[in-house]
Amino acid sequence: MKKLVLVIALLLVIPVTLVGCGKSDKAAIEDSIEGFVDAYNDENYEKCTDYLLGITDATKDATKAGLEVARGISGEIEVTSIEDISVDEDSATAKVTVKVMGQTQTNTVSFTKADGKWKFDMTGLLG
């Protein structure tokens, strides 16, 4: 159960965002984390996939199905903190704490900027 909660927590903090309007990368990363969580809580899995690096036509449907299963198990989630955002050119990390299934999980997540958007790199998890 603990492993399932960790996997769900990792999926729940997967971000991407458009960079524009003069926003700093750190603010854009924070906004993207919140955006993914909002889409996940709203059960909008199509929108969720926009936040993930490495999603292809071949993996999109399976990813959406996996998110739907995870959401059915986890219920809604809440981001309780986003800290220690570190940006180095086109890569970044952030320490994200979420409350899921009554438990608090903190994970350091990695991001890659692709096509002007910050995305959580799913390539290692999808391969």
Backbone angles phi, psi at 105, to 5 degrees: -125, 135
Chain centre to alpha carbon of residue 95: 12
Distance CA 111, CA 121 (A): 6
For the segment 68-117, what is each residue's pLDDT rounded down to a tens digit? 999 999 999 999 999 999 999 999 999 999 999 999 999 988 999 988 88
| CATH no., domain 2-115 | 3.10.450.50
Higher-pLDDT residue of 14, 110: 110
Helices (H), the chain: 2-12, 25-41, 45-49, 57-74, 123-126
In this model, does residue 127 exceed pLDDT 80? Answer: no
Question: In terms of pTM, does the model score above 0.75?
Answer: yes
Q: How many helices (H) and strands (E) does the chain have?
A: 5, 5
For the chain, the structural domain boundaries read: 2-115
- Condensed to tens digits (0 to 9), the pLDDT of residues 25-43 reads 999 999 889 989 999 999 9
